[in-house]
Structure 1
Amino acid sequence: MAKHYKRAKDRRRRGIVFALLLLAVAAAVYAVALKNQGRYAKLAEPEATPAEVAASSPAPEPKTREWVVVSADEGLPAAQQAAEAPKAQPPVCGYPRADGTPLLAIVIDDGGSQMKLTRRVAALDIPTTWAIMPYRQYSKETAQLAASKSVPYILHLPMQAQVDKDSETGKFIIGRGMSADEVRAKTEKALDSLPGVAGVNNHRGSRATESRELMAPFMQVLKSRGLVFVDSRTTGKSVAYDEARKAGVPALQNRGFLDNSTDKAEIAKRFDELVRNAQKRGALLIICHFRPATVAFLEELNARYKNLPVRFVTVPEMLALTDNGVPKKK
């Protein structure tokens, strides 16, 4: 009886151990199955299409538009370039921003012969420099108007042109055949007739400005009075700018006439070309005149000049911000 009871007890123990082993195996199998479930699910998922990938990707940030300065022969048409150019900030005392904005100086020639057009120009906000002829009917009145508007003005001094004969001295103040003393005396007298001038530029003068013998004594007068010089460049052989630099006279050169045409549309087209040249060079001085079509163009320009990709400056400002017209190195 005791032996039978012992065998039954041993069988129960083996059954319990066996059951525990089965439970352990089952638990292990279940754990492995759970671990692989995510892996199997990923393998079962279909690959996303390119469109789905693009849709699920974050949208790229918009790129900032870069403004590229182009030469006069490349890039956008002038009208489109002016319309799309970033707006310039309001000027501070007429000086450009420190970001390298190109400079553009406009000299308006032939002042002193009339007042109607001059008063219209005086009403403009565009920084300009007036060049006033000596000994004309309204020379002093023009200078007084410029001073009242804080517009710098220079003496527009008649000089001999290639078409002028040496005997026609009434057409010019400085010309071939004059002695150095005569050049100095005539220059001094013309300057005295128009007090307050900041400097001088030549009226005509395609012959006189080719002569170093004439330009050297002329520059001596400007140096002694602390005045500046603008070479109108009526001839490609002019030595006036070189003589000014040699004498230590601050000087600029004309880089383009704006109004060789009396057609306002042609003037506007020429202006767009000169603006692109200013962008290319970094600084540009141009010349126009007190003429009906020119003044009408300037009045239209007055409404939009602050939105152009150049900063308008006067001749004194141009000299202060450049090395005789060449942009200063940063």
Structure 2
Amino acid sequence: MSLASHDVLSRPLGLRDEAPGRTACWRTALRRATILAATTAVAGLALFVALTDDPLGGEPFAVATIERRAPEPAAPAAAAVSPDRSAGEVEQVSGVAVMRPDGTGAPDSRVIRVPDPEPVRLSPAPDPRVSERGRYGTLPRIGPDGSRALDVYARPEASSLPGGAAPAGRIALLVTGLGIGQAATRDALALPPAVTLAFAPYGTEIARLAARAREAGHEVMVQAPMEPFDYPDNDPGPQTLLAGAKPADNVDRLGFVLGRVPGAVGVVNFMGARFTGEAAALEPVLREIGGRGLGFLDDGSSPRSLALDVARKARVPAAAAEIVVDAVPRSDAIDRELARLEEAARRKGVVVATATALPLTLDRVARWARGLESRGLLLVPVSRALRNGR
């Protein structure tokens, strides 16, 4: 087959033969025309932008004017509290309209701002001066200089009511049974800081919860489980101090209890009607408590207790509660005991009471404590009663 016949067979149908030179000229002319058209378009667009001053090339736009304003002068403080202003001046500055009976006006007395008192902070615990390592952890001891945990860890006592007035009476209130129920412990921590809190030696976070109580300003104590008359049917729990046990065994169990609550100022019995009624069993334990620089509080639950008499003979700082606020756990009964507590404080000057961390008790105590100072009475920490032997 010839070359000519091959071109005829491979060329698309409908196309005529053209000379190669003619095709190249046609393509060159088309390319030049395209470039000329594009150049003309760009030049026209540039001329349009230059003449119309429109950098957006005709796209819609809006112009917003931003004005700079000088900052407005700060408004005068509303009713600045100062000893140089009278009550009328304070009202005028504040702009608050005060309605008074006809013919009366603002008093001429000066307005004085009394700053809130700083919260009371307790000493960190354990303090190396009054602590040592024992079988069950950190135990209290009397320091080389005679320092006692009862004094080092105590909450400072207020000497007067807010405003400086002397109180008509003082009340030392201990709330027991903390560290087991989270809700009860939380509610007890919200009580006035002068209320002392006692922790049972059980639970996994006793030391942390006691530290939180002290951070909130509460003095803390530890409860020692002691044998009741119906033991073991009524069991205070592990490490119970027993009336028939050897003194060394009871002292060892007491060591477990003391190691559970660093920063405690003393020990309070948990149950123990039989144990506190046995002087022979009680004396070695109280001597150990006193020898470690702690105090002992009888919770007042047993009328047969000999704790206060034995402690005095052994020269151990001790006190006994005169009133158990929730011996009958009803709202009306608790309120009556709180009223009786106020009466006793006015009559005796200082009175000690205990209460358990029941939800009802904590609620009634919180309500009662809100107005206590307005009635001329002052809450004091239990350490005050322990040191004074009340």
Return the TM-score normalized by structure 1.
Answer: 0.65
Higher RCO, 1 vs 2 (CA within 8 Å, ≥6 residues apart): 1
Provide the C-alpha distance between the structure 2 equivalents of 1:180 and 1:218, rounded to a whole number of angstroms: 7
Q: Which residues in structure 2 correspond to 1:1-330 (within 5 Å)?
A: 94-97=157-160, 99=166, 101-165=168-232, 170=237, 173-320=240-387, 323-325=388-390
Provide the C-alpha distance between the structure 1 equivalents of 2:306 and 2:243, rounded to a whole number of angstroms: 14
User: 1:312 Cα deviation (Å)?
Assistant: 0.8
User: 1:289 Cα deviation (Å)?
Assistant: 1.2
Q: 1:193 to 1:303 in 2, by over 3 A?
A: closer
Please state whether the residue corresponding to 1:124 is helix, strand or coil: coil
**Paired residues of 1:264 and 1:296 also in contact (CA < 8 A):** no
Spell out, residue by residue over 1:200-240, the C-alpha distance to the aligned partner (whole angstroms, 9 max, x if none): 01011100001111111101211221001101132222111
Please state whether the residue corresponding to 2:324 is helix, strand or coil: coil
Partner of 1:56: none
- The AA in structure 1 aligned to 2:199 is I
Please state whether the residue corresponding to 1:130 is helix, strand or coil: strand
Spell out, residue by residue over 1:70-122, the C-alpha distance to the aligned partner (whole angstroms, 9 max, x if none): xxxxxxxxxxxxxxxxxxxx999532339573211110011111121222221
Q: 1:128 to 1:166 in 2, by over 3 A?
A: same
**Paired residues of 1:160 and 1:171 also in contact (CA < 8 A):** no
User: 1:181 Cα deviation (Å)?
Assistant: 0.7
- The AA in structure 2 aligned to 1:185 is D
User: 1:140 Cα deviation (Å)?
Assistant: 2.3
Larger radius of gyration: 2
Provide the C-alpha distance between the structure 2 equivalents of 1:143 and 1:228, rounded to a whole number of angstroms: 17
Identity among equivalent pairs (%): 24
User: 1:246 Cα deviation (Å)?
Assistant: 1.7
Provide the C-alpha distance between the structure 1 equivalents of 2:366 and 2:349, rounded to a whole number of angstroms: 25
**Paired residues of 1:126 and 1:302 also in contact (CA < 8 A):** no
| More helix by percentage | 1
Provide the C-alpha distance between the structure 1 equivalents of 2:370 and 2:202, rounded to a whole number of angstroms: 34
Please state whether the residue corresponding to 1:135 is helix, strand or coil: coil
Spell out, residue by residue over 1:270-294, the C-alpha distance to the aligned partner (whole angstroms, 9 max, x if none): 2101211222222110010111111
Return the TM-score normalized by structure 2.
Answer: 0.56
Partner of 1:24: none
Provide the C-alpha distance between the structure 2 equivalents of 1:157 and 1:250, rounded to a whole number of angstroms: 16
Provide the C-alpha distance between the structure 2 equivalents of 1:166 and 1:174, rounded to a whole number of angstroms: 15
User: 1:303 Cα deviation (Å)?
Assistant: 2.4
Q: 1:114 to 1:267 in 2, by over 3 A?
A: same
Q: 1:167 to 1:255 in 2, by over 3 A?
A: closer
Provide the C-alpha distance between the structure 1 equivalents of 2:222 and 2:285, rounded to a whole number of angstroms: 13
- The AA in structure 1 aligned to 2:159 is P
Partner of 1:35: none
Q: 1:167 to 1:261 in 2, by over 3 A?
A: closer
- Name whichever of 261-270 and 193-202 sits farther off: 261-270
Provide the C-alpha distance between the structure 1 equivalents of 2:234 and 2:333, rounded to a whole number of angstroms: 37
Cα RMSD (Å) of the superposition?
A: 2.5
- The AA in structure 1 aligned to 2:304 is K
Spell out, residue by residue over 1:277-324, the C-alpha distance to the aligned partner (whole angstroms, 9 max, x if none): 22222211001011111111122124212112321101113345xx31
